[in-house]
Amino acid sequence: MLTPAWLDGLSLGDPISADPLEGGYASKTYRVRTDLGKSVVVKTQADLPPDLYALEADGLDALWTPGGFAVPKVLRVTPTFIVLADLGTAEPSATYWADAGRALAAQHQRTADKFGYHQDNYLGTLAQRNPWMADGHAFFVEHRLLRFLERPFCYRQLGEGGRRLLERVVRRLAEIIPAQPPALLHGDLWHGNLLPGPDGAPAMIDPAVYYGWPEADLATLLIYGNLSGDFFTAYEEVHPLTPGWRERAPLLHLRELLSITAHSPTVPETVAEIHSILQRFD
């Protein structure tokens, strides 16, 4: 799929190839090369909410932090596609994971007075509600966990027993999760959204930003695994964590799992994982 209109007005030349890239739930993603030797990344899909790419652009702009991750520059946004600067294909640097840990810690040093964000955005293709709230536990319960019960796929797959178990566990959230100041989060920080940028330095893509608990960003990274211990060591040198965060991580990771059930009609393995986590904290 090669669409010349993607590059209209960007003075990058005419597109000559579009190579599919892996990853991403909502979009088809391509590295587009031009006859002037330039390259960009294009994400596109026709049947998405019309403001999804504009809100992704806002999130990418928000994530830029001195000493933080490389973030792709937004070159063009329309309701059906977004054009991003190409971060390249470099191999990770020798200090990639330690640098990534310090970059995330620097990002989490950016705090707000309340939890939420100045506007709603998206997690996948579902609206992510970000009203400003002073109570982090109430925010996470209402807008990061229970909100998915409104979605038919999630409601049906959890079943009555699972829904009651979830509601019972969230009533204990304040006993389990320590108070944390609201920090700027990527919001969907599984390891697929971390990648080497220019010169192999750590970069991030595909945000669902808001101000929330730092442990929520770390939970998804930890659960999906395959990270160097250098990452967490470097992170805690800059941004120390309350002991026990690794043991609490599965509870915070429920938000990602509930989102998966809300997007998909049949995900039995995810539902089983949700039940297992809830039973552990019940």
Alpha carbon distance 228, 165 (integer Å): 34
Alpha carbon distance 218, 274 (integer Å): 18
What residue spans of the chain are helical by DSSP H? Answer: 52-63, 96-108, 136-140, 152-170, 173-176, 214-224, 229-238, 245-263, 268-281
What residue spans of 69-226 are helical by DSSP H? Answer: 96-108, 136-140, 152-170, 173-176, 214-224
* Percent helix, strand and coil across the chain, each to the nearest 5: 45, 20, 35
Are the CB atoms for 191 and 91 separated by under 8 Å? Answer: no
Q: Which of 58, 188, 206, 217 is catalytic?
A: 188
Active site residue 188: yes
Residues with catalytic function: 188
